[in-house]
Amino acid sequence: MCRGGTGASIVTTQRQNMDVPDHDSQNTRTIQSWSIRLLPVVLLFISYYYTHVFLHSYGGTSTSPTPGKVLCEGWYNSKKLENLKFNLTRKNKLFLKLEEFFWKQYPSDIALPYGIKGSELFLLKVLSVIASYEMPESVESLDCRRCAVIGNGFAIKNRSLGGAINKYDIVIRLNDAPVRGYEDDVGNKTTMRLFYPESALLDPGIHNDPDTLMVLIPFKREDLRWLKEILYDEKRVRKGFWRPPPQIWQGKTSQVRVLDPFFLQETATKLLNIPLTLPPKSKQKPVHPTTGILAIYMALSYCDVVHIAGFGYPPTSDQKHPIHYYGYDTMKSMKDSTHDVSLEAEALKKLEDSGAIQYLHPHS
């Protein structure tokens, strides 16, 4: 009896044990089936997390633009600049070249800042020693040029955009705006820096990468003379500047470029609709584009995607409001400026509304 009972119990147990693998196998297949069904949901959640959390880590919003390839593809398809009627093409060359002015027919009947009339000799000497007139091949060969133009405005302060800015292919900075100590807000990558003598830093290496292109904007004949004297180590002439420029400048000759006045001319006439010259004996105050609005137009002439940060001025009624993310200048310092900030604000709004540019941060 005991043996029989034991035998029956053993058989039953064996049958139960044989049934277990079949049940587990069915559960495994069920789990795999549900995993496949849930995969799209998981991917969607990851995408949502990246958009809403990862971008917030850079101080952006859920709609903040990022320098992804998708944006380039969208740019190609939308042709956002068609209605603006600008003379823009991706094949534009940004910098003056020796052969284009002195070995070919290239007349200019306008003086600086919109032409080279009267400055040919200084320009000849400057271009004769500059090693290159091009952008780096690593940038020139990009299928999609994604650019960030970083203004010096107070609007970028405490936005924590530094990490996002560093991801762009080309980062354009202006004048003597510092980088060290402000990396969290403005990043530390610089592809090119636009400047003029009065805004030149004694040592560009302090706030720029070693291979940063230093792009001179020649607003006047004296600007080219200053650069010539620096490059040839000649006696410095201090006359002709609204603020004394550096008498010693440690920029690398191989990294120096001279921006074609064509871009300033186009910025003035096509974007801002301001006259290049005033009638004789006119009492009207001359108006010229700022370095910032010029940099944006230049970027639109070269890049496939243009995002901006640090642009915009506080209301003119608030004369004590800081205008830069650094230093202590306020709106009061703009009182005698040759720039029309209201006109430039309208131009930026037009570019934004057309989709030609996008801001990296909220703005008014």
Per-residue pLDDT of the chain (364 residues; tens, 9 = 90+): 443 443 433 334 443 444 444 545 555 555 455 555 555 444 444 444 433 333 333 334 434 566 656 567 655 445 556 666 676 666 678 999 988 766 655 568 899 999 999 999 999 999 999 988 999 999 999 989 999 999 999 999 999 999 999 999 999 999 999 999 999 999 999 999 999 999 999 999 999 999 999 999 999 999 999 999 999 999 999 999 999 999 999 999 999 999 999 999 999 999 999 999 888 878 778 889 999 999 999 999 999 999 999 998 777 667 788 999 999 888 777 676 788 888 999 999 999 998 899 999 998 7
Tell whether 24 and 164 lie within a shared domain. no
Q: Residue 201 falls within a domain, yes or no?
A: yes
| Strands 170-174, 358-359: pairing kind | unpaired
Tell whether 35 and 135 lie within a shared domain. no
Cα 339 versus chain centre, distance: 21
Tell whether 248 and 280 lie within a shared domain. yes
- Confidence (pTM): 0.79
Which tokens belong to 143? Answer: 């299928």
Are 362 and 157 in contact by the 8 Å Cβ rule? The answer is no
Q: For residue 47, what are the domain limits?
A: 1-54
Are 150 and 175 in contact by the 8 Å Cβ rule? The answer is no
DSSP symbol at 274: -
Q: Residue 279 falls within a domain, yes or no?
A: yes
Q: Residue 364 falls within a domain, yes or no?
A: no
Tell whether 89 and 146 lie within a shared domain. yes
Q: Is 361 left (phi over 0), alpha (psi -120 to 50) or beta?
A: beta
Tell whether 117 and 29 lie within a shared domain. no
Tell whether 76 and 49 lie within a shared domain. no
Q: Residue 227 falls within a domain, yes or no?
A: yes
Are 198 and 168 in contact by the 8 Å Cβ rule? The answer is no
Are 301 and 336 in contact by the 8 Å Cβ rule? The answer is no
Over the range 320-342, which residues count as b (16 or more CB within 10 Å of their CB) and which as e? Answer: eebbbbbeeebbeeeeeeebbbe
Residue 165, SS3?
helix
Q: Residue 283 falls within a domain, yes or no?
A: yes
Strand partners, 171: 148
Separation in Å, CA 256 to CA 75, 196, 347:
31, 12, 29
CATH of the domain at 241: 3.90.1480.20
| Domain tally, the chain | 2
